[in-house]
A and B are shown apart, each in its own frame.
Chain A
Amino acid sequence: METLLKVEDLKVHFPVSKGLLSRKSAYVHAVDGISMQLDGGETVGIVGESGCGKTTAGMAMLNLVHATGGRILYRGRDITRFEGMSRQEILALRKNLQIIFQDPYSSLNPRMTLRQMLALPMHVHNLYPGKERDERIDYLLAKVGLSPEQANRYPHEFSGGQRQRIGIARALAMDPEVIIGDEPVSALDVSIQAQIINLLMDLQDEFDLSYIIISHDLAVVEHVSDRILVMYLGKVVESARYSDLYGKPLHPYTQALLSAVPPPDPRRQHQSIQLEGDVPSPVNPPPGCAFHPRCVHCMEICSRETPELKDMGNGHLAACHLL
């Protein structure tokens, strides 16, 4: 399968300005050098807790947030920060790289009807002119499980699950190749989550889409992903096929993360690996391995040297001095 999206050492650092003349005195290392690739038809999952940078990474890939370092390549072409690209080229990129947001309440313009929302991308990209446009809108709505009669309604007239479907329809409107789902089901009721997950998977099969699913919900990510990246404080600490990650997690953080999820089975009284302290803030990441202050297996070297991502066999990468 060809590689669609390749991310090399992506960094996103936000300045925290202090002082009257905005001298930048500190940086938030939101994303601190991550690399990954997305092949055609694949789903890559990115998991992590708050502050790990997964959402920022997703946004940076679409240039909705400025990357401060590293490269993003689409079909081999450097598209980092959309530098040196004409408006035409940018539009072509935007057509192919789409995003679905977490919050179904803030991701839809309250003043636009569904029809207007779905027509907008087509209008911008000059696709489906004239009568075809309405037909396409009806088609999209039906595909995501909404009825075309609802096209003239406003977002506030729909439930959370329906609004998420609208967001998906919007992302689909331009026939993209890649869709980034930023916590696509986290804000939804449990009984609706399965519907949306199934919908995403059905659409992937039907339209040959490739997904990057960003989530903190490990069960959801395991269910939909082929490969999974685990992020901590802006870095990838482990990357593997889903079966390898969940079956044999190598990094202590991944192990703790997986053990922390309470299993919905009352017979399994799970003992989670207790981590000391809190998830640290990305403004002042600890020296060496970012995880070392909380790691049960912390060694002397961990506070000095940042471990590199090493291939431990079979494409299973982990960054830990223990290995």
Chain B
Amino acid sequence: MPDGTPLLSVQNLKTYFYTFDGVAPSVDDVSFELRRGETLCIVGESGSGKSVTALSIMGLLPSPPGKVLDGSIRLQGANLLEYSEAQMSDVRGNRISMIFQEPMTSLNPLFKVGDQISESFIRHKKIGKKEAWEASVEMLNKVQIPSPARRAREYPHQMSGGMRQRVMIAMALACDPEILIADEPTTALDVTIQAQVLDLMRELKANFDAAVMLITHDLGVVAQMASWVVVMYAGKVVETGSVLDIFEDPKHPYTEALLQSIPRMGRRKADRRVRLQEIQGMVPNLYGLPRGCSFYNRCAKAMASCKETPVNLTDLGKERQVRCLLYG
């Protein structure tokens, strides 16, 4: 069990979106902690609120229509939600960095890659252009890009997807942040490139001693990268626990069903194709969530009370939490 006070503590975060179609509770009373040296994976599908959580932490919410209504986000005790834009701008890229899913659109096509990394150094470390450039080349080396000096002079469109993602990682780690948030960092990459990037991230985490918050929908990535897992569904946290606990002893019916429904390699025994354990129904529309459990209409273990009773998180001890009437 990881020790020490939490590096990042998110408590009762509520981020709602106000649009033409109504109010969407994208993040509804979400709490979790991230400790030094840990890799926390937030798992969820579309509408789960995982990306919005990350954006709320970074202060990058499109506002309007998004708005943080409640809760606290404490970085080493200081509540980021109370920071001014100027203060947040000191935090971003410096103490907390974020990398995104689509490396092509996350890098500015008009600037050389080396300049984009240098920006981080110049902004946060207050060093000169030349020094920053050298530091950038060194960063490219650290993310295992061959011929880093030459590559630093290239533009994003001259690089492949995998390489661009490494550049993003270089930018993110440039100022030695305490936390790295990665939002679906490998989803848009080919599987062999994904393997490279995940390996890289594991190595870098060891070298840079950053805590990682990895957002993904890919359970394989979670299994390989996470130490702790937060499962989100329709804006709420439905289960948390260590990665072993989640995979071997899932408590929430959603987690359980998800694990059972994915096709796994090497599992097929019979010649005859076997039906997968599917989950009925669809991810609910955030604009019309039910009063009770949001997973009710898809749950194999649903009880009558699940439909109308609002469900709270139950603490199962040993850092395990579930939001389900089966447990409390």
Contacts and interface: CB of A to CB of B under 8 A. Distances in A.
Query: Taking the complex as a whole, does A directly touch B, i.e. does some CB pair lie under 8 Å apart?
Result: yes
Interface of A: 43, 49-50, 159-162, 189-195, 197-198, 201-202, 216, 218-220, 222-224, 242-243, 246, 256-270, 272, 274-275, 278-279
A263 B262 contact: no
25 contacts: A161-B282, A190-B217, A191-B279, A191-B298, A193-B261, A216-B190, A218-B191, A219-B265, A246-B266, A258-B265, A261-B265, A262-B198, A262-B220, A262-B224, A262-B225, A263-B220, A263-B223, A264-B219, A264-B222, A264-B223, A264-B247, A274-B195, A275-B192, A278-B163, A279-B192
A220 B261 CA distance: 11
Interface string B265-290: 11010000111111110110000000
A202 B275 CA distance: 9
A159 B282 contact: yes
B273 A272 contact: no
Contacts, number: 143
A189 B193 CA distance: 22
B199 A272 contact: yes
Interface size class of B (residues with CB under 8 A): 35 or more
Contacts of B276: 194, 197-198, 223
Interface of B: 45-46, 160-163, 190-196, 198-199, 217-226, 243-244, 247-248, 257-259, 261-266, 268, 273-280, 282-283, 298
Given A189-B217, A190-B258, A263-B220, A278 B278 contact: no
Closest 9 CB pairs of A and B: A262-B220, A260-B195, A49-B190, A194-B278, A194-B261, A194-B276, A272-B195, A278-B160, A223-B263
Contacts of B199: 272, 274
A222 B265 contact: yes
Nearest to A225: B273
A104 B277 CA distance: 23
B11 to A, nearest CB: 27
A272 B261 CA distance: 24
Given A190-B258, A218-B265, A242-B268, 6 more contacts: A49-B190, A159-B283, A223-B276, A278-B161, A278-B162, A279-B160
Main secondary structure of the interface of A (DSSP, over half): helix
Nearest to B163: A278
Nearest to A275: B192
A164 to B, nearest CB: 11
A266 B244 contact: yes
Contact of A266 (B162, B224, B261): B224
A95 to B, nearest CB: 26
Nearest to A264: B219
A192 B266 CA distance: 21
Given A219-B263, A219-B265, A223-B263, A264 B283 contact: no
Contacts of B161: 278
Contact of B191 (A193, A202, A260, A263): A260
Contacts of B268: 222-223, 242-243, 246
A246 B267 CA distance: 10
A278 B166 CA distance: 12
B223 A262 contact: yes
A224 B220 contact: no
A256 B196 CA distance: 11
